[in-house]
Structure 1
Amino acid sequence: MAAMDFFEHQAVAKRNTRLLVILFGLAVICLLTLTGLLVAAFSGGLGQIENGQQAPEFYLHWDIVLAVTGMVLSAISLAVLYKWVVLKGGGKVVAESLGGRRLSPDSSDPVERKILNVVEEMAIAANMPVPPVYLLDNEEGINAFAAGYSPQDAVIGITRGSVVNLTRTQLQGVVAHEIAHILNGDMRLNIRIIAILNGILFISHAGYLLMRTGMYSRRNDKNPLPLLGIGLLIIGSIGVLFGNIIKAAVSRQREYLADASAVQFTRDPDGIGGALEQIGALSSGSQVASKNADEAAHLFFGQAISKAMSIFATHPPLKDRIKRIRPNWDGKFRANPRPQLQAELESEGANAAGSQQERSRQRMVETITTAATIGAAFEQPASANEQELIGEARNQEGAEALVLAMALSDNDEIRAAQLQEISRQHTAQISARAAADFEKLKPFELEKRLAFVERAIPALKTLSQHEAYALLNTLHQVVEADQQTSLYEWCLTQIVTRYVRAEFEPNRRVKRVDVRRQSDTEFTLSVLAWYGHDNDNDALQAFNLGAAVFGQRLQPFRQQPYSFAELGDCLERINTWSVTDKAKLVQAWITCVRSDGEINVVEQKLLLTLCACIGEPLPTLEL
């Protein structure tokens, strides 16, 4: 099975966005024209009287038509802008609008623990920090969604019906499907669809308001408002009709792609195939009862609302999706045995820490055998220290202490000053926890410690904005205490800063800066080549292999140590590149680190950090 090309899928998503904007633009132009003509007709603009007789020709008062068109265009634009501002908060706003409740990463509830463990496993297998999880408590149907603008602010939402009615393997398939949406770049497109449809819907709302207002007018017999309202309602409904058709067509193709990606993630077609089969087997299906389900229907794993005609369906038919994944399926929908589901829940809740984490690790290794991160981070049985640190990462205060502990110096004098600063900026308790976590981290190599950061992200995202920014400020001060920044410290601060900041600035615009395409490529490749190889000749060979993939004659930067401030500036500029250019650069990076036939932990974590800085996923690192 071919490897997933997330960059190609992102490029397709961007092309779909442009096509979507064009089609919606044409729809808006038609709506504006019809609305202008309608209002002109009701304002006496469809003719004139000459000498008491009806003129033989009809005339339009174009000034009225243009004025009405301008007003309607302004109103639609304001409606789109309003929805865009509402959704500016990112994935968490969408999840909350659908009735989602954010789960605490250290929850011990069996239902919550089951989905938290699965999301954690699948995210780590996908080479990305763990996203926050929202549970839709009141939804009995089997459904899920991913929402946000980028992997940095993405959230996973899932219905309670999914957790209690799916086996663990099936739940992995559903979560893998949603992670594929994150990595394929579908989320920003989905949010734009919600905003644009809200603008088109405005005309229908305006028509309904005029109709209701006219009906209650005292001069109802001579009042044209009801008829005008009905006309606007019809025009608006036509716009919504075509808007939903466009939305559904775009969504269906992305669902097929996410299904295929989920199979590649899990290497198990029975997982996602079984989940789709359960939707057909249960009476609740994939229905979502939230009042906002209609506008967000294209986000979900399954058809969230009933559609009488397939042309309006945001998802392909269940049988078609299952047949693509499991060609030998016999067409029968069979529900999971209840005793099996109950046994799984009891297993999840038996021990939320300790041995449960070991079982979680073992399931991950068995389920996703080819992900490079699994081999690097989970090849040995969990030690007592690791179990305690994983538990610390899932707790809000513990996650703060753990991240700060990772930045502490091995020098006793410097570390004492760092702990004192932590105590001053936060609390003595966090300082003490950081000191204790530092001791537990000692058995791990520096680069392997970064795996704990990926687990700590959901807990850090639960901090208030003041607390989060205070933590980031303290982290930078702790790192700078010894007046030098190592590669490990730079990776630590970059991952924490960018993912935590995305909780409060999810749609943060990157300022366009001067493009230094060649020099930025040369510098980033040089950092990878010389940090990943022990001798100059091997590093130069790795650099040249990466340069050949990028397709330009490049010269390496040989001065060392490399400036991490300069590396950060390079990545800010690269973040403004097109998806196609980023794809070439990431492939050049990967070729560079693969040059010696292995990808060590340093190279893996540096690659993960570089990709995080440019807002792109790290592809599977298979040799």
Structure 2
Amino acid sequence: MDFFEAQRQARSRARMLVPGFVLCLFGVIAALYGIAILVRPFFDQHRPGPLFRWWDPETGLAVAVPVVALIVGGAIWRIASLRGGGAVVAARLGARPVPASTENEAERRFLNIVEEMALAAGIPVPEAWVMGEEKGINAFAAGRDAHQAVVVVTRGALDHLDRDELQAVVGHEFSHIVNGDIILNHRLMGLVFGLVVISLTGRGVIRIAEHIRGAGGWTLAAFALGGIIWVVGSIGVFFARLLQCSVSRQRELLADAASIQFTRNPEAMARALKKVGGTWRQGMLLSLRAMEARHVFFMPSDLTGLKTHPDLKKRIRALEPNWNGEFIKVHLHAERPLLVRGGSQPPEVEADLDADGLAARWRKAPSLQTPREARLVLLAVAGGGNDPRVAPVTEALGALEESSRLAVIEGTVLPLKSLPKRELVQLVEAARVRFAEGNLSWELLLAQQLVERRIAMHAGMMSPPQTVHRGLETLYREAALILTALDSASGDGMALGAVVPEYFQHTGVPFEAAPAADLTPDGVAGALRAFWGATPMVKSQLMRLCRLAVESDGQIGDRELGVMRAVAAATGLPLPPSMLAR
């Protein structure tokens, strides 16, 4: 699966949403204009001329201006409100994050599956969330990119799917992340909200009327006004559903197939779909906000209106051609409560940490157990601080090979996001003081990119960078410095020869190696910072050049891998598959 090509195609499809949205907007205006033309004679009987004027600029303007203002304004507002990434979408739909230290067996199984699928897909481990009030079997992935992605499952999915079936469903959602479908879905949610905002306004007026009962004629008038607005807004709802359906249903069939590539278990996916069909809900959700996001779910979140997903039986037969048509019956009333013993906050790390025990555990698996442990790792990398528990963590990191040490540092991001915001802000500020001192090590380079690009942004301490570089030709010096650093890390001088032709193709200038004095972690950090404001395509071009440089000699050294991890953190792109086993 070519990640970069899939991402390019997804962004191309996302750009096509705008013309589709404009067509839907014109459709809403045309429908409301037609209604206005039909009803105006009853309110303006003294107007001279024919009873019905099918072309009436005055009426058209009176309809178009408020409709465009409401719909476009609503879409822009919703898209801006979702800039925080997948966590914002998940929270809006009533989900909660699963703490890394959860003692609930079903949630622990879910966390393990997410980590396994991230390794299989070659992307950073996304946050795991649960819709604890939803009894139906469903799931979705959301986010603006792989680094801001979340994977969400319902309580019903945790309760009624076995491990293989849940892994198949999670693998389906991971394919949406890898293929860039979440980019499309994220943008579509904003546009759909704009189209349904008139209907939502009508609902809001009706709710206000319910709260002012007893006001006589005002209450009746409010109910009537809300009902009219809601009915008129239903036209926008229709076009919103049409726009959601225009996002090819074929994507769901492809995601089912991609899940099988990850899990190698087509039977599990088929069983999961049969269990969905065996429930009376069939994936339906209670959340009223699910309507604007119905296209992101594993199964339709409601069964009304136009279909956004392929027929369930069609999906099963694509996996199991000889299926007899029988579903697996599931009784949703038998679910087990999802309780996290000890509260939702993870426990503190014990003060008497054992360095040998930590090193042994990290050699087996670099994942960190709690946010507190991740905090100590970052403090240890950044210089220690005053916490006495940092010393054994520093010793444990020193006992690891460089590749394992880098993996542990990279593993701090996900658990750190569970820290209280105040504590996270203090940690970022302490790390920034250390970074500002200069003289970065290669490990600090990776830590710096992770802190600035992922942790600080999550804490609200950094806004998404503005896009200022739309071609690699404006970053040719920075790209040359990063590539020269990779060549220096390889030690064989073969890396540059493999990238020179493609570098010239993208930049239009001959390759010129950076001076040796600039080939330091601080120099590379400055070059990577420039790429924060590059377009996704430019970042993909840099990652491809780096991959060519590293793979040119058939060997991947620890120093090369460290630089590549920093490049991945800065660009928000996954490591190439050839480096995942390191």
Scaled to the shorter chain, the TM-score interval is 0.7 to 0.9
Amino acid corresponding to residue 510 of structure 1 in structure 2:
Q
Paired with 1:219 and 1:534, the residues of 2 have a C-alpha distance of 81
Contact 1:42 1:224 in 2 (8 A): no
How much does 1:494 deviate?
Answer: 0.9
Matched, 1:485 2:460: no
Q: Out of 503, 516, 519, which is 2:458 matched to? A: 503
How much does 1:437 deviate?
Answer: 0.8
Contact 1:13 1:186 in 2 (8 A): yes
Contact 2:140 2:151 in 1 (8 A): yes
Paired with 2:270 and 2:510, the residues of 1 have a C-alpha distance of 47
Contact 1:252 1:316 in 2 (8 A): yes
Q: Out of 17, 22, 25, which is 2:22 matched to? A: 25
Paired with 1:541 and 1:131, the residues of 2 have a C-alpha distance of 36
Paired with 2:501 and 2:405, the residues of 1 have a C-alpha distance of 29
**Kindly, what percent of the aligned residue pairs are identical?**
30
How much does 1:105 deviate?
Answer: 0.5
Paired with 2:50 and 2:166, the residues of 1 have a C-alpha distance of 70
Q: Out of 548, 557, 574, which is 1:617 matched to? A: 574
Paired with 1:172 and 1:224, the residues of 2 have a C-alpha distance of 50
Matched, 1:9 2:9: no
What's the C-alpha RMSD, in Å, of the aligned pairs? 4.0
Q: 1:279 to 1:49 in 2, by over 3 A?
A: closer
Paired with 2:159 and 2:566, the residues of 1 have a C-alpha distance of 36
Amino acid corresponding to residue 448 of structure 2 in structure 1:
T
Q: 1:335 to 1:604 in 2, by over 3 A?
A: farther
Of stretches 106-115 and 277-286 in structure 1, the one that deviates more from structure 2 is: 277-286
User: 1:232-270 deviations in whole A, cap 9, x for unaligned?
Assistant: 555432332132122023152332332233223334333
Superposition map of 1:371-382 within 5 A: none
Q: Out of 351, 361, 369, which is 1:387 matched to? A: 361
User: 1:155-203 deviations in whole A, cap 9, x for unaligned?
Assistant: 2211122223222222222222222222322223223222222222233
How much does 1:549 deviate?
Answer: 8.5
How much does 1:284 deviate?
Answer: 4.5
Amino acid corresponding to residue 457 of structure 2 in structure 1:
A
Amino acid corresponding to residue 487 of structure 2 in structure 1:
A
Q: Out of 372, 375, 381, which is 1:400 matched to? A: 375
Paired with 1:117 and 1:139, the residues of 2 have a C-alpha distance of 21
Amino acid corresponding to residue 17 of structure 2 in structure 1:
L
Paired with 1:157 and 1:475, the residues of 2 have a C-alpha distance of 31
Paired with 1:204 and 1:336, the residues of 2 have a C-alpha distance of 35
SS of 1:139 mapped into structure 2: coil
SS of 1:152 mapped into structure 2: helix
Cross-structure match for 1:528: 486
Amino acid corresponding to residue 199 of structure 1 in structure 2:
G
How much does 1:401 deviate?
Answer: 0.5
Q: 1:330 to 1:575 in 2, by over 3 A?
A: farther
Q: Out of 84, 89, 114, which is 1:94 matched to? A: 89
SS of 1:313 mapped into structure 2: coil
Matched, 1:294 2:249: no
Q: Out of 109, 117, 126, which is 1:114 matched to? A: 109
Q: 1:153 to 1:202 in 2, by over 3 A?
A: same
Paired with 2:556 and 2:435, the residues of 1 have a C-alpha distance of 27
Superposition map of 1:31-70 within 5 A: 31-36=28-33, 38-39=35-36, 49=46, 55-56=49-50, 58=52, 62-70=57-65
Q: 1:19 to 1:546 in 2, by over 3 A?
A: closer
How much does 1:384 deviate?
Answer: 5.9
Q: 1:583 to 1:232 in 2, by over 3 A?
A: same
Q: 1:442 to 1:335 in 2, by over 3 A?
A: farther
Cross-structure match for 1:470: 426
How much does 1:110 deviate?
Answer: 1.0
Contact 2:496 2:549 in 1 (8 A): no
Paired with 1:15 and 1:540, the residues of 2 have a C-alpha distance of 31
Q: 1:517 to 1:267 in 2, by over 3 A?
A: farther
Please report the TM-score for the alignment, with normalisation by the length of structure 2.
0.82
Paired with 2:556 and 2:172, the residues of 1 have a C-alpha distance of 27
Cross-structure match for 2:274: 277
Amino acid corresponding to residue 482 of structure 2 in structure 1:
T
How much does 1:469 deviate?
Answer: 2.8
Contact 1:88 1:507 in 2 (8 A): no
Paired with 1:305 and 1:472, the residues of 2 have a C-alpha distance of 42
User: 1:122-160 deviations in whole A, cap 9, x for unaligned?
Assistant: 223433332221112222222211122222222221112
Superposition map of 1:48-197 within 5 A: 49=46, 55-56=49-50, 58=52, 62-197=57-192
Matched, 1:592 2:572: no
User: 1:375-404 deviations in whole A, cap 9, x for unaligned?
Assistant: xxxxxxx97633279698221222100122
Amino acid corresponding to residue 28 of structure 1 in structure 2:
L
Amino acid corresponding to residue 294 of structure 2 in structure 1:
A
Paired with 1:253 and 1:394, the residues of 2 have a C-alpha distance of 39
Please report the TM-score for the alignment, with normalisation by the length of structure 1.
0.77
How much does 1:113 deviate?
Answer: 0.9
How much does 1:305 deviate?
Answer: 1.7
Paired with 1:334 and 1:33, the residues of 2 have a C-alpha distance of 46
Q: 1:479 to 1:573 in 2, by over 3 A?
A: closer
Paired with 2:133 and 2:428, the residues of 1 have a C-alpha distance of 36
Paired with 2:216 and 2:64, the residues of 1 have a C-alpha distance of 26
Superposition map of 1:249-288 within 5 A: 249-250=246-247, 252-288=249-285
Paired with 2:166 and 2:52, the residues of 1 have a C-alpha distance of 64
How much does 1:568 deviate?
Answer: 3.9
Paired with 2:4 and 2:506, the residues of 1 have a C-alpha distance of 15
Cross-structure match for 1:559: 515
User: 1:396-437 deviations in whole A, cap 9, x for unaligned?
Assistant: 2221001222344xxxxxxxxxx3xx22xxxxxxx2221111
How much does 1:461 deviate?
Answer: 0.4
How much does 1:114 deviate?
Answer: 0.9
Cross-structure match for 1:359: none
Cross-structure match for 2:412: 456
Contact 2:134 2:156 in 1 (8 A): yes
Of stretches 22-31 and 386-395 in structure 1, the one that deviates more from structure 2 is: 386-395
Q: 1:68 to 1:224 in 2, by over 3 A?
A: farther
Amino acid corresponding to residue 322 of structure 1 in structure 2:
I
Q: 1:555 to 1:36 in 2, by over 3 A?
A: same
Paired with 2:531 and 2:157, the residues of 1 have a C-alpha distance of 39
Paired with 1:534 and 1:316, the residues of 2 have a C-alpha distance of 53
Q: 1:573 to 1:32 in 2, by over 3 A?
A: farther
Q: Relative contact order (C-alpha < 8 Å, sep 6+): which is higher?
A: 1
Contact 2:147 2:454 in 1 (8 A): yes
* 5+ long unaligned stretches in structure 2: 337-345, 348-355
Amino acid corresponding to residue 302 of structure 2 in structure 1:
I
How much does 1:102 deviate?
Answer: 1.6
Cross-structure match for 2:390: 434
**Aligned positions, number:** 551
Paired with 1:225 and 1:111, the residues of 2 have a C-alpha distance of 46
Q: 1:262 to 1:535 in 2, by over 3 A?
A: same
